[in-house]
Amino acid sequence: MLLMRRCLRSPAVITNTAGGGGRAAPVRWFSSGAAPPPRELAHVVKLDSLHQETPERISQLWIDYHVKKEACVSAVAPAATYALINRRLAESPLFVLPLPRESGFVSVLLQAHAEQDTVMFTELEQYQRAADKSAVPSCLHLRYYTDLAATKDIVLVRGEVDLARLTTTEAQTLVNQLQVYYLADAKYAAVKTFNHDPAQFDYNAIIDDLRGGVGTDTVR
């Protein structure tokens, strides 16, 4: 993977504009390199047992279960937090995140399919080079499970990691950055610009956020 230095312009070349308004048109999904998380929560845990537990206990069980798995990251979100993220992922399904590395950073493309509660990540350089965008494999595949949202007020999150391209720590950083940019109103403004007015998007501001530590610590 190419370690990218500070960009002098927006990487919005990954989007197309239509209708003369500068709005980003949808791009094709890239394929999954990281194994996709199971579609159904019941394929991961015994749902009947979870329904008998408190939200706090479920959260602890979920995190503990995934700590033992080598190529997974996990999180638990309040239902209201998930609802906001999902709404914004539907509105603005694309973004680029700078992932820190020892000698710089790698730009990672985020692409969401909110109706399926999934988010996929791949290296921007790899995506831009590919002739067939739909064949570019993801390095992180994230899924939100809403089965317990109505009864326990929580949403369980699981991410499958391609360990040949990402460490689990790096994957967690990407998840943290997603939360920062899709939850904080001030940060989400940049996401909206990237999707709906890409010519005005300033990637240097996102890099400055990274240098200031934004998204590199666990979001709580």
Cβ atoms of 27 and 111 closer than 8 Å: yes
The pLDDT of residue 33? 54
| Digit-coded pLDDT (tens) for 175-220 | 999 999 999 999 999 999 999 999 999 999 999 999 898 877 643 3
pLDDT-above-70 percentage for the chain: 82
Which residues, in sequence order, are CB contacts of 110 under 8 Å at separation 6+?
Answer: 94, 95, 96, 97, 119, 120, 121, 174, 178
E runs forming strands in 70-139: 72-78, 94-101, 104-113, 118-123
In this structure, the dihedral spanned by the alpha carbons of residues 77, 80, 85 and 88, taken in order and rounded to 10 degrees, is: 180
The pLDDT of residue 29? 41
Burial, 194: exposed, middle or buried (Cβ in 10 Å; 0-12, 13-18, 19+)? buried
Per-residue confidence at 102, pLDDT binned at 50, 70, 90? confident
Alpha helices in the chain (DSSP H): 47-50, 55-67, 79-91, 124-129, 149-152, 168-183, 185-196, 203-211
Mean of the per-residue pLDDT values of the chain: 84
Residue with the bigger pLDDT between 220 and 145: it is 145
Name the helix (H) or strand (E) containing 159. Answer: strand 154-161
| Least-confidence region, from 5-14, 48-57, 167-176, 178-187 | 5-14
Residue with the bigger pLDDT between 108 and 27: it is 108
| Digit-coded pLDDT (tens) for 76-92 | 999 999 999 999 999 99
Cβ atoms of 139 and 160 closer than 8 Å: no
| The pairing of beta strand 16-18 with beta strand 94-101 | unpaired
Comparing CA positions, the residue from 179, 173, 151, 49 lying closest to residue 99 is 173
Which residues, in sequence order, are CB contacts of 210 under 8 Å at separation 6+?
Answer: 98, 100, 105, 216
| Digit-coded pLDDT (tens) for 7-39 | 323 343 343 333 344 444 444 444 445 667 888
What are 23's strand-pairing partners? 18
- Fill in the amino acid letter for 35: A
The pLDDT of residue 124? 94
